[in-house]
Structure 1
Amino acid sequence: MKKIITLSAIVCSAIFYTQVQKVEPAFWWSGMKNPELQLLVYGKDIQNLQPEFSGGIKIKEVKKVENPNYLFVTIDTNGVQPQKAKLNFKNGNKTVKTIHYEFKQRQQNSANRDSYTSSDVMYLIMPDRFANGNPKNDSTPDTAEKVDRSKTGGRHGGDIAGIVKNLDYLQELGITTLWNTPLLEDNEPGFSYHGYAQSDYYKIDPRYGTNDDFKNLADELHKRKMKLVMDYVTNHWGSKSWIIKDLPSKDWIHYWEGQENGFKRSNYKMTTQFDINASKVDAADCMDGWFDTTMPDMNQSNPMVVTYMAQNAIWWIEYAGLDGFRVDTYSYNDKKGIADWTKKITDEYPKFNIVGEVWMHDQAQMSYWQKDSKIAAIEGYNSYLPSVMDFTLHDALGQVFREDSGWDSGMQRVYDNFANDFLYPDINNILVFAENHDTNRFNQIFPDVKDYKLAMSLILTVRGIPQLYYGSEIGMAGDKNNGGDGEIRKDFPGGWAGDANNAFTKSGRTASQNEYFDYTKKLLNWRKTNEAVHFGKTLHYIPNNNVYVYFRYTDSKRVMVVINNNKETQNLDLKRFSEGLKDFTKGKDIISDKDFDLKTNLSVPAKSSLILELK
């Protein structure tokens, strides 16, 4: 009997010993500005355990929630030096679990790290569709969806190794900053390649690689003096998230009682966030409704959720050496909660840039979401979000190149967009683009390379941070309305072994692809050198005959841009532009390298542009 009791005690002890399954974050750094660290501890029925730190680390609070499988342990890291401390879990006087919790040394000057600015050009990649550098991770045992390139909405096998393999291509093109759509694990059984239904906040999806591979991507970019932006998702998680499947408490998500699985779709009416006439029910339907059935809506009005997300964001910044964020569906979040999340990050990293997706079609509404907005200040709100995306410019670019001049058509649409720049508190810090992974491809809407050149002339010389979408620089097209998202997220040619067309090399590209590429490369690499385009002021002129003229200038540099969207050659009387020309009488076109006399008249061929560095 004695032996049986002893064996039973050993078995029970072993079971109890393994109760603590996760601690997140798994490690931290010493010397953070905010000394408070909230540890999420997870395991079966662990609420009766008492945590205790060695090394004099103070536990400020141990919080229990509805679910007995969680403990939230808040500690004070003030004065904590880099070390491997012991985190003991006790049952009474007995220690039943010990975790070695490490506080790491931060990289030098980590808090003051530089970020992307309007001197950069951002390149957006859909990792699953860019290049397959490691076929061995195409399908993995612990992820549900397996590779199948025959499905437009399936996994195709692109990965981090494929991106690293082709960084020299991006550097040659003139890209300075890389934005990948989410790389964290998305373990939905289907249509998981986009990564926006994340199932593990601390783990790179194994079909893309490992956490170390992600860090290596940042390191490889930094070797080339390039930057890495992480696509961060705060509004929703995936239905297969381990936390979603075993919530700490029901109020971690917006759970709609009486609805199947608590799901109720958002009404997507983001104006209810600031519309003073909006009903509370409509506002709740937008903010608390789910983005989709596989994307439970997170409750940022719960401070524990915001702290968990903010710490995770900071963890990735420190761990991988990130240079910035792009935040998905920013304006669908609880606006007070997301402002708190944003401020926690920018307080820790004052120069860190974050651009939020605010997909709206009115400049006043978009500018509401930028940090220090005077419009938002009317109601006492500040998002603390440094940057927003210029969707109204995108809207204009989707129409202007098929239109003749008019009161509100053709290049007048572009002029009118910039006429509202006064609404933004920081006009240089907005993201400008002709397309992205959610829109029809520009080259599908405008299949003539002349229109592409006009659009790039504009995007790469106006105020703000230009963003290009992978493959546009070789003429890739795709119609979302005829084939779905897969049509605008096709595989980059040459990214897979056996591809007939390898557009990563000059010899592998077609003549048409090289025409797109060479124009983009020349414009991008010139842009790196010109401060007037990066940070200069803008002076523009009302378009005449579908010709738009503007100047970007500083005290020492001046650039004149002429975009002729007319189907005929236009002759410009330069007297009209004397304010912009000042005393300059010559200009060199940065594409053709030709010199132009700017004393009297300027002839601009049909459907063409001039980017003139004034002399």
Structure 2
Amino acid sequence: MAIKSIDDVRDVVYRKPPKYLPLSSNDLIQYHPSPLTWDDQLFYFLLPDRFSDGSETLDKLYNSSYNGVAIDTVQHAQAWRDAGKNWVHGNLQGLRSKLGYLKELGITTLWIGPIFKQVKWSDTYHGYGIQNFFEVDPRFGTKDDLKALIEAAHSREYQMYVVLDIILNHSGDVFEYKYHNPDYTGETFDVKGFYAAQNNASLRLGPVDDSHYPDGAVWPKELQNADCFTRKGRIKSGGWDKKPEYWDGDFYALKDIVLGPDEPYAFNAPSALRTLCEVYKYWIAETDIDGYRIDTVKHMGDGPARYFCSVIHEYAQLLGKDKFLLIGEVASDEADGDKKAYITVERTGLDAALGIGNVQAKLWNLPSGNVNPEEYFNLFRNALYLDKGSHKWLGEKLVTMIDDHDQIWRGKEIGKARFCSVSGNNKLVAAALMLNLCTLGIPCIYYGTEQAFDGSGFDGDEGFADRYIREAMFGGNFGAFRSKGVHFFDQDKDVYQAVREVAKIRKREIALRRGRQYLREISGDGMHFGLTRKMDDKSRIKGIVAWSRVFANVEVLCAINTDPDDGHEAWINVDKEVHPRDTTMRYLTQSPGGNVTVDPKGDRSAVYLKLGAGQFAILK
């Protein structure tokens, strides 16, 4: 049955919660329970259009001879670039076929980019331009495909949780202004009308006849009201951190929805927000999803975010999902953007924020040797500026990742690209991912990083060039490394194997998931210890960076070599109360392997490590 209004899903959303049904009832619905804690999980984020179409075969597996074949002529290069602007036809069935690949990698939670129905005539392959909030976009598949994917992920064979990317702040490009694409000025602009299926604004901005379903206007019909949209034009280039412009303005052509005032207390939810709460209750009840990643929380305001989090958490608990996860994207270019993200988590009831911006920049640059390691570790250290006394607080409240689909912190000046776009970083990506998996936070891998995707292809005339960091994992006409027609699901890839090894160790060692975190001092001579630091602003650290995770008097020591070309060795300070003299620590990683002796060095305990170029190690 086509779902056109909130009334059409009430029987699903408001059926008796299983917690309150007799155990003998034939109507009992067993929903998938939440994990004990989300910081035990390893996330994997993908855009379904760019991940898999299910047609990958062994004879089409990528090798380096395919590099650049799609851009061997000017015409081919332009065709490859143009392909990246549009849908390349990855789908939900393809994603389901790759659960084994992800399970073997060590992934325990899938974060799937938006799968809801987009404006039919637009190129919003990324999923953030929704026209029908109650349907799966047919280019991704069907609602049954989504349910089958989640059921398979939950199965004993794969044992994964699934988090869906959702949007409340805006819809797709569903109406046309009377005067085309105005910029934000603070005034409310006249609207010509909703777009019909033929991409003409011939429908009035109000309730439309059901005959325009599914491709005309916006659905559910409760959103077909002028008061559901701010109608204030698009955010200008200098307005992304200006209030109230970034609350009320449109994301380019995506139309801003009225969610209510920023004030989180004494909040009265407007009609559009109440409608979207019912929509996202429905998807929990219908698909058994385990969490949501909420797009553009900063642009929603704390009041609407707090209301939504309260409603969804309470509803999920009725279904037995006591720790239903709500992750907020709280992006900011401001210097104190990270602090604002954490404060937003506290004020709104979000479970976690994405560690983008400054956190991501430091996580990227530490293994590259471009920042002092303490700059990254101090982002977590006791959370002093938040008046939080525990390392554990940030461990549960932050999702960290090196690459992602936006790379907001790099911006126009640097150009968007992946970690491996930088010279030498392809030799350091395994160490970078090990840092991501073995430091505080909920670690997340962006699809393709485990295959060392470089995200290159930036064209200075095309601004941000998001498409280049959204390569097609299955190849098609927009494959990574400027290729086409070959896929990248290579389980023998050295980076894939490195992640697999670290993920297994992390799963065994609770200290790597929940322990406190300490940056360790090192020494070249065993006498003079200090933190690894750059010589000056222009230099690059090439050497060993080490840290410990400590949990219940158990210390796990982690180290990386930030030099992509040469090996290094050093004494590493360890906890002398946990490790008295002449005890040993053993390598949990296969290489270098063996044991090392804990030696007294003055008033310290220390171990001597030798790491090859770009190598990492974990010891216990």
Q: TM-score, normalised by structure 2?
A: 0.70
- Show the 5 A alignment for 1:240-259: 240=174, 242-243=217-218, 248-256=224-232
Q: Distance in 1 between matches of 2:573 and 2:234?
A: 60
Q: Which residue is equivalent to 1:49?
A: none
Q: Which residue is equivalent to 1:529?
A: 508
Instruction: Please tell me whether residue 107 in structure 1 is matched to residue 67 in structure 2.
Output: no
Q: Which residue is equivalent to 2:449?
A: 472
Q: Which residue is equivalent to 1:42?
A: none
The more displaced of 225-234 and 443-452 is 443-452
CA 1:561 to 1:268, structure 2 compared with 1: closer, same or farther past 3 Å?
A: farther
Partner of residue 361 from structure 2, selected from 395, 413, 424: 395
Instruction: Please tell me whether residue 453 in structure 1 is matched to residue 430 in structure 2.
Output: yes
Question: Identity rate of aligned residues, in percent?
Answer: 20
For the aligned residue pairs, the C-alpha RMSD in angstroms reads: 3.6
Q: Which residue is equivalent to 1:427?
A: 394
Shift of 1:594: 0.7
Residue aligned with 2:395, SS: coil
Instruction: Please tell me whether residue 234 in structure 1 is matched to residue 168 in structure 2.
Output: yes
Say whether the 8 Å CA contact 1:363–1:423 is kept in structure 2.
no
Q: Which residue is equivalent to 1:287?
A: 247
Shift of 1:369: 4.3
CA 1:252 to 1:267, structure 2 compared with 1: closer, same or farther past 3 Å?
A: farther
Q: Distance in 2 between matches of 1:23 and 1:342?
A: 19
- Show the 5 A alignment for 1:268-417: 282-301=242-261, 302-349=269-316, 350-360=322-332, 365-370=337-342, 382-391=347-356, 392-403=358-369, 409-417=371-379
Residue aligned with 2:438, SS: coil
Q: Distance in 2 between matches of 1:437 and 1:609?
A: 27
Instruction: Please tell me whether residue 28 in structure 1 is matched to residue 25 in structure 2.
Output: no
- Show the 5 A alignment for 1:36-115: 105=27, 107-108=29-30, 113-114=34-35
Partner of residue 441 from structure 1, selected from 412, 418, 425: 418
Q: Aligned partner of 2:429: which letter?
A: Y
Instruction: Please tell me whether residue 265 in structure 1 is matched to residue 235 in structure 2.
Output: yes
Aligned residues: 486
CA 1:31 to 1:537, structure 2 compared with 1: closer, same or farther past 3 Å?
A: farther
Q: Which residue is equivalent to 2:104?
A: 172
- Show the 5 A alignment for 1:10-21: none
Shift of 1:516: 1.8
Q: Distance in 2 between matches of 1:229 and 1:348?
A: 16
Residue aligned with 1:337, SS: helix
Q: Distance in 2 between matches of 1:461 and 1:21?
A: 46
Deviation sequence 1:154-191 (CA, Å, 0-9, x none) = 11111001101111111111111111110001125232
Deviation sequence 1:12-69 (CA, Å, 0-9, x none) = xxxxxxxx964544232446679xxxxxxxxxxxxxxxxxxxxxxxxxxxxxxxxxxx
Shift of 1:331: 1.0
CA 1:460 to 1:311, structure 2 compared with 1: closer, same or farther past 3 Å?
A: same
Deviation sequence 1:453-475 (CA, Å, 0-9, x none) = 22112001011111111111111
Residue aligned with 1:319, SS: helix
Instruction: Please tell me whether residue 562 in structure 1 is matched to residue 589 in structure 2.
Output: no
Say whether the 8 Å CA contact 2:294–2:327 is kept in structure 1.
yes
Structure 2 gap ranges (5+): 57-78, 175-215, 262-268, 317-321, 408-416, 522-530, 534-540, 600-606
Select the structure that is richer in strand. Answer: 1
Residue aligned with 1:28, SS: helix
Shift of 1:548: 2.5
Instruction: Please tell me whether residue 485 in structure 1 is matched to residue 485 in structure 2.
Output: no
Say whether the 8 Å CA contact 1:550–1:560 is kept in structure 2.
yes
Q: Distance in 2 between matches of 1:591 and 1:362?
A: 42
Q: Which residue is equivalent to 1:127?
A: 48
Q: Distance in 1 between matches of 2:226 and 2:385?
A: 40
Q: Which residue is equivalent to 1:153?
A: 85
Say whether the 8 Å CA contact 1:148–1:155 is kept in structure 2.
no
CA 1:108 to 1:33, structure 2 compared with 1: closer, same or farther past 3 Å?
A: closer
CA 1:23 to 1:538, structure 2 compared with 1: closer, same or farther past 3 Å?
A: closer
Q: Distance in 1 between matches of 2:281 and 2:4?
A: 23
Instruction: Please tell me whether residue 504 in structure 1 is matched to residue 489 in structure 2.
Output: yes
Deviation sequence 1:191-217 (CA, Å, 0-9, x none) = 220110101111000111111111111
Say whether the 8 Å CA contact 1:30–1:106 is kept in structure 2.
no
Residue aligned with 2:379, SS: helix
Deviation sequence 1:469-497 (CA, Å, 0-9, x none) = 11111111113743612211111146799
Shift of 1:522: 1.4
Say whether the 8 Å CA contact 1:398–1:445 is kept in structure 2.
no
Shift of 1:500: 5.3
Say whether the 8 Å CA contact 1:204–1:210 is kept in structure 2.
yes
Q: Distance in 2 between matches of 1:588 and 1:449?
A: 24
Q: Distance in 1 between matches of 2:578 and 2:433?
A: 22
Deviation sequence 1:123-145 (CA, Å, 0-9, x none) = 1111111111389xxxxxxxxxx
Residue aligned with 2:252, SS: coil
Q: Distance in 2 between matches of 1:252 and 1:470?
A: 35
Q: Which residue is equivalent to 1:275?
A: none
CA 1:218 to 1:206, structure 2 compared with 1: closer, same or farther past 3 Å?
A: same
Shift of 1:451: 1.3
CA 1:148 to 1:225, structure 2 compared with 1: closer, same or farther past 3 Å?
A: same
Q: Which residue is equivalent to 2:584?
A: 585
Shift of 1:431: 0.2
Residue aligned with 2:380, SS: helix
Residue aligned with 1:428, SS: helix
Instruction: Please tell me whether residue 220 in structure 1 is matched to residue 152 in structure 2.
Output: yes
Residue aligned with 1:243, SS: coil
Q: Which residue is equivalent to 2:264?
A: none
Q: Aligned partner of 2:447: which letter?
A: Y
The structure with higher relative contact order (CA 8 Å, sep 6+) is 2
Shift of 1:579: 5.7
Say whether the 8 Å CA contact 2:331–2:341 is kept in structure 1.
no
Q: Distance in 1 between matches of 2:513 and 2:108?
A: 13
Q: Distance in 2 between matches of 1:313 and 1:164?
A: 22
Q: Aligned partner of 1:451: which letter?
A: L
